[in-house]
Structure 1
Amino acid sequence: METNYKVAYEHEWKVLKSRDLNDVAKRRVAIYDQEKNQIRLKFLNNDYILDCNEETIVREKDGFVHSAETSVIILNYLGYTEIDAEKSDKWISMKEIPNGGMQFFPAFYKNTVIHLINKYGYDLDGFEQSCLELGGIPCNVGDKGFEFEVFPKVSVRVGLWEGDDEIAPGVNVLFNKDVQNFMHVEAAIGMGMYIGKRILKKEISGLL
């Protein structure tokens, strides 16, 4: 699987480097250093440096390198389209993301949503603590909900309905209505899965 993501990683770099990087930075609220040929981008409240010569992505504060899977999401946000749009304040479910959201939802539910329900369905406090540690901002979704600014123009909301003796727990994951302007549907879904893994506190680190 990692080999497949490495191929995707190389492809995303090729696409990004075919763009005018000054324009990319303006469209995606990043900073381009032309002399160093580097892009500084905020990803989940941390600054990352993308070196377009070395084709590397590192967290600025400590040099951390994500897995290829996560790095592809970062690259896709920057290079997927040349659309210059504002971030929508309206929200949609994964099923409503155009061009594939409905198709990919069953796998997303199986790999992410059900695990969140199983771990936090009867533990609102644990869910809240994990979301706050990840930088989530409380929002009006579920019994407790949190919004995560993944990128400057793309956020994810995760809401939990706590279960009891009569009602089963539930989880809803929402995306900005215009997410398809900034990311391919598969990258958006990968982003949702990444947030889910972080809330679950699963190991997501790893070198390419």
Structure 2
Amino acid sequence: MPTSACGINCDICKLNLMGICSSCGSGKSPEARKKLEAQNRIFGNTCAILSCACMNNLSHCLRDCNMFPCDNFRLGPYPFSPGFLSMQERRRKQTPPALTHNSTPVAIPAEYWESLEKRDMQMLCNFTLANPHPSGGLVFRFLREDILVDTSERCLKRLKEGIWEKTEDPLLELITLLYFNNIKSFHPIGKDIVGTSDLKEAHFFRGPHTLKLSPLSERYGNDLNGFKDAAEYLGGKAVDMASSGYMLLPFPRVPLYYLLWKGDDEFKPRISVLFERSVEEYFEADAIWGLVTRVSFALLKGPEC
């Protein structure tokens, strides 16, 4: 594999083309172990980055390691500049642009907040397992964190050091408003689990509106332990499905089942998502797409170190 564990693509390096230097390979590759043996034999020590990737069974640091950029990169002479590492650290804290299934920016209609303000908050709490808040809104659990739906200020808030602070998360705000506006009753979990092809609007999830799961397959397809760590970090509960499966709860009574299928000589690894059939009572197809997109981002981001 031409791309090394550190992220350098040796395939486009003239040293590699001239046969002077070979790729270190990914941290899981035989090339990496051979390179470490050669380094130790010739130099008496090894590359800290490659050694760490091999020891932790990570293919590529930039994609697979939740601690990147670490001191192995910061304190070493190469391969990246301090400016590049600072940029990586800063931008990894950002949320991707909130886009709809049509790649347009998410917009929050004012009437969604107006409609929610008219609902019986105590009844909503009973239906959704949310908790009432003195502001007149409610607090619900999104994966591993509490979210305040502040109806007085018409925004979502996250708890930081004991203080509720406004958060800019348009996609989460949109699906939250849709959920609390649309729910009229609740259903038991685990009774009727379906895929997109079983939904009433199954046709929606074809072509350009296919669920965006390929980044997850690329990241976790050959890393079941990484998938497990990310899912459990988000509060996921293991389910006996596929090679590895987890039930995640973006809302306390709205589970998503993420299933990872290991690849083999014939098939590539893949990830699929299942739902409770009742999801259609809360969300239309485009909102289901948005819900999966938002949860998938959290899963892709993984544990924060």
TM-score of Structure 1 vs Structure 2, range by shorter chain: 0.7 to 0.9
Q: Which residue matches 1:86?
A: 187
SS at match of 2:242: coil
Q: Does 1:68 align with 2:153?
A: no
CA RMSD of aligned residues (A): 2.3
Indicate conservation of the 8 Å contact 1:160/1:170, yes or no: yes
TM-score (norm 1): 0.82
The answer (yes or no) to whether the contact 2:217–2:271 under 8 Å persists in 1 is: yes
The unaligned stretches of length 5 or more in structure 1 are: 203-208
Q: Distance in 2 between matches of 1:31 and 1:76?
A: 18
Q: Aligned partner of 2:224: which letter?
A: L
C-alpha distance in structure 1 between counterparts of 2:188 and 2:159, whole Å:
25
The equivalences for 1:16-165 within 5 A come to 16-33=116-133, 36-62=135-161, 63=165, 65-81=167-183, 83-89=184-190, 90-98=192-200, 100-109=201-210, 112-165=212-265
Structure 1 residue 66 displacement after superposition: 4.0
Q: Secondary structure at the match of 1:88?
A: coil
Q: Say if 1:147 and 1:156, in contact at 8 Å, map to a contact too.
A: yes
Aligned residues: 197
Cα pair distance change 1:196/1:123, threshold 3 Å: same
Give TM-score, length-normalised by structure 2: 0.58
User: Deviation at 1:24?
Assistant: 2.1
More strand by share: 1
2:112 equivalent to 1:12: yes
Q: Displacement, 1:144? A: 0.6
| Contact persistence 1:24–1:79 (CA under 8 A) | no
- Do the aligned partners of 2:244 and 2:260 also contact (CA within 8 Å) in 1? yes
Instruction: Give 1:92's aligned amino acid.
Output: V
Q: Offset at 1:7?
A: 3.3
2:300 to 188, 191, 200: 200
Q: Is the 8 A contact 2:204 2:285 kept in 1?
A: no
Which structure 2 residue ranges, 5 or more long, are not aligned?
A: 1-97
Query: 2:296, 2:209 → 1: CA distance?
Result: 10
Q: Is the 8 A contact 1:87 1:178 kept in 2?
A: no
Q: Report which stretch shifted further, 53-62 or 189-198.
A: 53-62
Structure with bigger gyration radius:
2
| Per-residue deviation, 1:41 | 1.6
Deviates more, 1:36-45 or 1:139-148: 36-45
- Greater relative contact order, per chain length (Cα 8 Å cut-off, separation 6+): 1
